[in-house]
A and B are shown apart, each in its own frame.
Chain A
Amino acid sequence: MARSWWKTALALALTAVMLFPIYWMVNVSFTRRESIRKGQLLPLDFTTDHYRVVFSQQLPYLTTSLLVGVGTVVLTLLVAAPAAYGLAKLPVPGGRVLSFVLIVGQMIPAVVMSLGFYAIYNRIGMLDTIPGLILADSTLAVPFAVMLFTAFMRGIPNELIEAAELDGASYWRTFRAVMLPISRNSAITVALFAFLWSWSDFLFASTLDREGGSLRPITMGIYNYIGAQNQEWGPMMATAVVASIPTALLLVLAQKYVAAGVTAGAVKD
């Protein structure tokens, strides 16, 4: 251990380089408008004004993002958990094909999905609505969720299920009373990632919810600043910092679940 201090020092330096853009964002968000262009390493000309702007202008967007995130989580869990039980423990006809479709589904370019959804939503009047965005965002998480749940449920010993069945439990009851409680940690991992992906989504939001006014998510709140005549970097960076809060919370409070999802989610970028 004595001679490994230099490794820690090197690792700290590497981490600092890697996270510099994030530091820079925070730095700008606390710097007064007049001084942003000086590019100082510390927010010497300190202000919290930009955050006041965020809370006066961006709250509707944040609320929308929260709603869409929660909706996506619920829908993803409802579709994925029962299917995973079927795939892991019951004789599903064509189960291998289904698993194949799930992998291929994740490889479809998002722009192709957006175009398809856009045409369909345009026809049935679901553009610029929260349910429309929830449905589209859930496609980001459902295949990952099914695969994560299935991998976990396969590991649950058959004896547990058989014991329940000997007690006369129906398949539904076995699922509810045996499988779901044991899979709690997987459900948390799925929920966290489904929320994060829908919170971070730019592509569906910018295509299916372009003109939704305050029904647009926070990613669009940030996007509004881009291309404006006089780009307001301060409020924009402050909004970006606020939009990063779920990521930060996840890393601090739920690292265990993140690690599980990251390793299992090798299939997800």
Chain B
Amino acid sequence: MAITPPTRAPHPLETTSRADDAVVAGPHRRHAARLAAIAFVAPLVVYLVVFYGYPLVQNVAMSLQRYDRATFVSGGAPFVGLDIYREVIGQPKFWRIVGQTATFTLVSITVQYVVGLALAVFFQHNFRLSATLRAMFLVPWLLPVIVSGTTWQWMMNPDNGALNSLVGLFGVDPIWWLNADHALMSVIIANIWLGIPFNLVILYSGLQNIPTTLYEAAAIDGAGPWRRFWSITVPLLRPVSLITLLLGLVYTLKVVDIIWIMTMGTGTSQTLATWSYAMAFGKGASAVIKYSEASAVGGILLVIALAFGLVYIAVQRKQED
């Protein structure tokens, strides 16, 4: 945590007028504090209900009604229960897309984690410029995704892209990075690039919390760097690793932007999130707009994301206790 609370020398008078009396002295004062608490939090509660709750409910409602272009504007779409969910899951491509979503998510977070950890361990050594260069690694994370996405798209251009020039140096034939077959691999590469900074930052701060005396003691006992990494770093970093991977999982599942910008979810790069997006907002990707189907796929995605999200929260609570 980079934020430290301000420190202040205690005022001599304060020891006599102990404050608990002042803040919650008597039922009247306690009542007032409660009212004030509600007043301060009320805008946030209203905000959450209107701008999180309402859109969420709206999405679920749409997935239970059969909307088309006309009823979307005029209202009065018939209620059909879980029919649309059944239809969506019954589509032949549903399980293929689930598989692609799983591949996209798992490969992304695994490689991001491994690379992020390697970099974090490396940057822990204090060498000249280490802090500056570590800060430079944040750039991909802070850049608008549309900027990174279009740049990757250009680098993966089959005729003149930088990536094909690079593989060409090793005698590899030009690759059609963004065609149907390779699209998944290509968006994974770009997404790994986007996610490395996040993993580096979290794992680096996790490493800072491992006492250096442990490493020193192990070194005295004759443990080499490799041995120290596996017997000290890996086990002590386990809690942080778990949190990083779970958060990465939840956030990678729902990625739309980088995929949509690079391939519009064509071919193997279609995931649940981009499929949902395409059905409702696809720019030329689908002729018919399917709000209900989009909401149903969104609903399925929501359930998966929240399931892993709850695991994350449970793990975090357990670690705090």
CB within 8 Å for A112 and B299 given contacts A227-B283, A266-B202: yes
B129 to chain A, nearest CB (A): 5
A interface majority secondary structure: helix
B28 an interface residue at 8 Å Cβ cutoff? no
Instruction: Say whether B41 contacts A98, CB under 8 Å.
Output: yes
B138 touches A93 (CB 8 A): no
A113 touches B55 (CB 8 A): yes
CB-based nearest A residue for B144: A200
Instruction: Say yes or no: B150 contacts A162, CB within 8 Å.
Output: no
Could you tell me if B161 and A39 are in contact, using CB atoms closer than 8 angstroms?
yes
A120 in contact with B55 (CB, 8 Å): yes
Task: Give every chain B residue within 8 A of A185 (Cβ-Cβ).
Answer: 3
Q: Which of B19, B273, B313 contacts A158 (CB 8 A)?
A: B19
B136–chain A nearest beta-carbon distance, Å: 5
- A86 near B139 (CB under 8 angstroms)? no
Partner of A223, one of B32, B36, B119, B261: B261
Per-position binary interface string of chain A over residues 98-125, scored 1 when its CB falls under 8 Å from any chain B CB and 0 otherwise:
1011111101111111111111101100
Judged by a CB distance under 8 angstroms, whether A48 is at the interface is no
- Known contacts: A185-B3, A263-B205. The answer to whether A110 contacts B41 by CB under 8 A is no
Q: Which of B33, B57, B137, B144 contacts A199 (CB 8 A)?
A: B144
- Which residues of chain B from 249 to 265 have any CB-CB distance to chain A below 8 Å in the complex? 250-251, 253-254, 256-257, 260-261, 264
Q: Are B8 and A160 in contact (CB under 8 A)?
A: yes
Interface centre among B32, B41, B283, B291 (most CB of A within 10 A): B41
CA distance A117 to B59 in the complex (A): 9
- Which of chain A's residues have a CB closer than 8 A to the CB of B295? 112, 115
C-alpha gap A191/B155 in the complex (Å): 33
Cβ–Cβ contact A105 & B143, under 8 A:
no
A110 surroundings in chain B (CB, below 8 A): 254, 256
Cross-chain contact B40 with A85 (CB below 8 angstroms): yes
Q: Give B142 Cβ to nearest chain A Cβ, in Å.
A: 5
Q: Are B128 and A109 in contact (CB under 8 A)?
A: no
Interface residues of A in 55-69 (CB under 8 A from B): none
Decide: A37 and B254 in contact? CB cutoff 8 A. Answer: no
Given contacts A110-B256, A157-B8, A227-B283, contact A8 B138 (CB under 8 A): no
Residues of A within 8 A of B58 (CB): 115-116, 119-120
Distance, CA A166 to CA B21, complexed state (A): 10
Interface residue ranges of B148-185 to A (CB < 8 Å) = 148, 150-155, 159-162, 165
Across the interface, which residues of A come within 8 angstroms of B139, CB to CB? 18-19, 22, 247, 251
Known: A15-B136, A98-B41. A159 touches B146 (CB 8 A): no
Q: Most chain-B Cβ atoms within 10 A of its Cβ — which of A93, A112, A264?
A: A112
Q: Is A182 an interface residue (CB 8 A)?
A: yes
Listed residue (A138, A206, A269) with the most chain B CB atoms within 10 angstroms of its CB: A269
Contact between chains at B11 and A159 (CB < 8 Å): yes
Q: Is the CB of B40 within 8 A of A83?
A: yes
Cβ-based interface call for B14 (8 A): yes
Contacting A202 at CB < 8 Å: which of B2, B140, B146, B276?
Answer: B146
In the complex, A123→B57 CA distance in Å?
15
* Interface contact B201-A91, CB-CB below 8 Å: no
Scoring A85, A115, A135, A227 by chain B CB atoms within 10 A of each residue's CB, the highest score goes to: A115
Query: Taking the complex as formed, is A259 at the interface, i.e. its CB lies under 8 A from any CB of chain B?
Result: yes
What sequence of 0s and 1s flags, for each residue 106-122 of chain B, a beta carbon within 8 Å of any chain A beta carbon? Answer: 00000000000001001
A203 touching B154 by the CB < 8 A rule?
A: no
B43 touches A83 (CB 8 A): yes
- Residues of B bordering A, CB below 8 Å: 1-6, 8, 10-11, 14, 17, 19, 22-24, 30, 32-34, 36-41, 43-45, 47-48, 51-52, 54-59, 62, 72-73, 75, 119, 122-123, 125-130, 133, 135-140, 142-148, 150-155, 159-162, 165, 193, 195-196, 198, 201-202, 205, 243, 247-248, 250-251, 253-254, 256-257, 260-261, 264, 273, 276-277, 280-281, 283-284, 291, 294-295, 298-299, 301-302, 305-306, 309, 313
Q: A115-B280, A165-B23 are in contact. List 17 more A-B contacts (CB 8 A).
A: A24-B162, A37-B160, A83-B43, A86-B36, A92-B38, A108-B306, A111-B276, A111-B301, A159-B19, A171-B40, A219-B146, A226-B150, A227-B264, A243-B146, A251-B139, A258-B142, A264-B3
